[in-house]
Chains A and B, each alone.
Chain A
């Protein structure tokens, strides 16, 4: 397995020989940095792999900056909580980049219990000419040293090193589901099922609890927090989503403990669609502010909704991701697929939204033209430079030639994690243990 650690499939430029996937290789999060130059992935084995876009060269104008592995490191290790006799998984739940402020890159990565700040820096020079040790590192016999010299920096092969600069731990009783960096670039929040904690990036031994929805009697628990995010522009505003399908917007200036929301977004349930599984499918799995800060997008099991921050009683837009699954909720409950947490993402201009589905399908919705498309991330359909063909799921009756019927969908192939380049039309899609990067057509 070790020899495969760097052989992630990127840009469809090389293929794996074998199809089996070890569980540790399953990608659990993907995230572009704020310039789009770097792309980070985290996996179930606790590793982070960072890809860097190569510089576009004039000699090869057709190669539009492909992504290559830049750095790989083990972010989290499995741990054991002796007090509760619980194993803490090393799976990376979320990665968030800090905007670049100097030559090094910084990212936050988290597993279920601990958040870490990693510094990724390049080293292309090394000092040579030490006095006390020779070039191989062996200590020199002091009696042989007759003169002093000043070590000189000599160029070396580029080395990219990742070091853990901060470890933010022991603040969460429940499992961390999200982290979000504040626009003030000084603080961030980490969120578990019942609490949201505010940290200062410099201080690791203290965090402030700003939301706590734990009931005094756990038997009265009806709702958990599923995701939280800071507003992209207002450093005092954040939103968190719940398992009941509601979103709360909070203002940290109001009170130290933000248990009372400023805005409460919820759409009343449609009683005609009520079923055993109504609660599960209304649970929000992801919440994302738009880049302009005017809208919120939420993903529940069957839909993506865009909310206007000024309108709390219903979403502005609702998009059906895979409504054909509505009649299959019972089987999806039995095979656990109904608990899958899909993410959703905005494009740079907030005009298109994207989310994943099953059978390695992912969907894009254009908010302006109201057109949508279903695409598939699969090795067979993705030769380099190939144009992805739109896919269609046939819901009943006659199946056309290129359509796929609902019963033929492979529910083990799910796209939970996707990310969109902040400025360009480049998307990264994680399909189990494979990473696909798609770009706009090159003319």
Chain B
């Protein structure tokens, strides 16, 4: 599934960027780390949204997220005029002017439904929430072990467990959390 794959790729790239920024000369760049983490968050949300089963009437906050990867796909397709025509029959919505978001959401939902059918049992099982400690996903750096860039972990399939915000920020702000006390 393209959205999923794109989100995965962006997530992997973002993590390697965050990691590389740790050893960058001049220290951690707050602005850049913040932007990378925002992208990661978007990618993570898309990834989870696409992995879990969603009712066709997806909650509103999901809409902007769902529309984004589809809009990127749209750009890669030849003339954009063809796109609404293609999605309309899929959604069977009224031919009255649709917003681009609705059309894309439909496209996403139908894709999500398809993917769910093809999901492997092992991946589906992992929807279960796990505690942070046991959930240490392969692709995220653990606080204990120090990873070198380019290690095998990056190649491992992304775990589907939820990454807490604090997990991301702990890789972002290791220095700042130490210096908070001194401020």
| A interface with B by C-beta (< 8 Å) | 81, 83-84, 86-89, 91, 112, 173-175, 177, 193-194, 218-219, 221-224, 226, 243, 271-280, 283, 326-327, 329-330, 333-334, 336, 339
Q: Does B166 contact A (CB under 8 A)?
A: yes
Q: How far is the CA of A336 from the CA of B31 in the complex (A)?
A: 13
Docked-complex contact A84 and B35, CB < 8 angstroms? no
Docked-complex contact B38 and A280, CB < 8 angstroms? yes
Docked-complex contact A173 and B165, CB < 8 angstroms? no
A177: which B residues are within 8 A, CB to CB? 31
Known contacts A276-B10, A333-B10; A86/B38 CB under 8 A: no
Known contacts A224-B30, A334-B13; A84/B67 CB under 8 A: no
Q: A86-B27, A276-B10, A326-B75 known; 12 other A-B pairs, CB under 8 Å?
A: A84-B179, A88-B27, A173-B179, A193-B30, A218-B169, A218-B177, A275-B68, A276-B39, A279-B35, A279-B38, A327-B75, A339-B32
Instruction: Look across to chain A and name the residue whose beta carbon is closest to the beta carbon of B30.
Output: A193
Docked-complex contact A276 and B68, CB < 8 angstroms? yes
Docked-complex contact B166 and A219, CB < 8 angstroms? yes
Cross-interface CB contact of A278 among B10, B68, B76, cutoff 8 Å: B68
Docked-complex contact A274 and B71, CB < 8 angstroms? yes
Tally of chain B residues near chain A (CB < 8 A): 41
Cross-interface CB contact of A275 among B26, B72, B169, cutoff 8 Å: B72
A277: which B residues are within 8 A, CB to CB? 39
A219: which B residues are within 8 A, CB to CB? 165-166, 169, 173
Q: How far is the CB of A420 from chain B (nearest CB, A)?
A: 26
Docked-complex contact A339 and B72, CB < 8 angstroms? no
A218: which B residues are within 8 A, CB to CB? 169, 173, 176-177, 180
A-contact bits for B41-76, CB 8 A (1 contact / 0 none): 011001000000000000000001001110110011
Known contacts A272-B100, A276-B68; A88/B26 CB under 8 A: yes
Q: Does B175 contact A (CB under 8 A)?
A: yes
Known contacts A86-B175, A173-B183; A275/B71 CB under 8 A: yes
Q: How far is the CB of B117 from chain A (nearest CB, A)?
A: 26
Q: Does B178 contact A (CB under 8 A)?
A: yes
Known contacts A193-B31, A279-B38; A89/B26 CB under 8 A: yes
A280: which B residues are within 8 A, CB to CB? 35, 38-39
Q: How far is the CB of B89 from chain A (nearest CB, A)?
A: 22
B34: which A residues are within 8 A, CB to CB? 221-224, 243
A81: which B residues are within 8 A, CB to CB? 27
Docked-complex contact B176 and A175, CB < 8 angstroms? no
Docked-complex contact B25 and A87, CB < 8 angstroms? yes
Q: Which of B1-55 contact A (CB under 8 A)?
A: 6-7, 10, 13, 17, 25-27, 29-32, 34-35, 38-39, 42-43, 46
Docked-complex contact B26 and A112, CB < 8 angstroms? yes
